[in-house]
Structure 1
Amino acid sequence: MGGIDILLLIAYGISFVCALLLIAALFLYFRKRFRARVVSLFMLAAFFFLGAYTVKMAVAFWIRFSTATGGDAVYAALKSQAWTVAQTGTTLGLVILTVLMYTRRQDLFLSFPAVKREEEKEDADA
């Protein structure tokens, strides 16, 4: 392994850990927001993007480590397909975030009235 490979592994590792920490923080945010029955569409898109980005970093680790240890044609095809899916998800997340930013729709919220009605029925039954 050369110096660039080591630098890339360090960069991928830092990116992967930061993305996991952000996903954990967003998970707590969404848990709180789903209980309130209102979720920001922008934050939901950011969560989707971070999820795809985290998968992409995991695939990048897999590609780098398997390149260092060798591999066969089946693994090479699988790695290529996994990278394609991860890159497509990341790109889709970025497109959604960009559209929301440039249309100035960062403040769109989704509300869940059906969830509210079910809880009201449970409260009425109790």
Structure 2
Amino acid sequence: MLNEEFAFKHSSAREAPVIKSELVLKLSEMNPHLYQRDVEILVNAILDEITDALRKGDRVELRGFGTFSIKERDARQGRNPRTGEKVSVTGKVVPYFKSGKEMRDRLNPKAGAAKRA
């Protein structure tokens, strides 16, 4: 769950993104009974499981957080930006994330409160 304790040093979307090592550090600070290396192993395991599920074509639903899935992009004609020459872009599978309602409400507290009123 997101909470105020789990705030990173970045206060604006324009600043540098939160990186995995900062996430590991913050989680290990919040759980002093765990070694930082163990937290890193857990974070990597979670990310690997999400990736493996997506690779198999499964959706990963984390209630309150969001859903990871894959989308297929069709092959298309593109252009080389330097030469303007037409090029074929092959189809591909890309990851997709849709935030959950609880996350959206926490990110937009006024919008969520107005809907309930």
TM class, shorter-chain normalised?
under 0.3
Structure that is richer in strand per residue: 2
Give the TM-score taking structure 1 as reference length.
0.25
Q: Which structure has greater helix proportion?
A: 1
Normalising by structure 2, we get a TM-score of 0.26
